[in-house]
Amino acid sequence: MTLPGIVLIIITAVLCIMVLAFIPTLLAVKRAATALSSLSDMVHKELRPAIQELTAALAEWKSVGVSVAEHTDDVKCFMTALGETGDNLHTINRAVGVVTGVLNATTAWAVGAKVAGKYLFERYLIKRGGK
């Protein structure tokens, strides 16, 4: 055997070894590509409905937000009316307090006048009675 023949045999053996080592690698890459393809299909099948549900939920939240924004003025008006009602109730309470005070004073004066009248009437009867 000549030197080029030996080199050709070595090159052929190395190529065969490389092909034998490369075949399992190619099979693993093919399995990985198949698994990746099935994963991609599953993600598309599962992700599409989830995105549609999220879009529907987002639209619903948007309509709720718009409704809340529309009724904010109503709530402000209600709170203003509630504040004014509180002020009016406070005014009525003060007026009732004043009237109660006047009635208490009037009652006290009436009782005093009644006692004084009774006393004066008795004194008048006693003087008229001759005592």
Q: Is residue 113 part of a domain?
A: no
pLDDT beyond 80 at 121: yes
CA–CA separation, 94 vs 30, rounded Å?
Answer: 90
Quick one: pLDDT at residue 131?
A: 52
**pLDDT score of 68:** 82
39-85 pLDDT tens trace = 888 888 888 888 889 999 999 999 888 888 888 888 888 899 999 99
Indicate the pTM of the whole model.
Answer: 0.40
Residue 11 located in a structural domain: yes
Residue 74 lies in a domain: yes
| Residue 4 DSSP SS3 | helix
Domain that holds residue 76: 1-93
Q: Assess if residue 57 is contained within a domain.
A: yes
Would 125 be classed as within a structural domain?
no
Q: Is residue 75 part of a domain?
A: yes
Specify if 61 maps to a domain: yes
Total structural domains within the chain: 1
**Residue in the block written with tokens 């003060």:** 94
Q: How far is CA 78 from CA 67, 83, 84, 87, 97, in A?
A: 17, 9, 10, 14, 28
Expressed in percent and rounded to 5, the helix, strand and coil fractions of the chain are 95, 0, 5
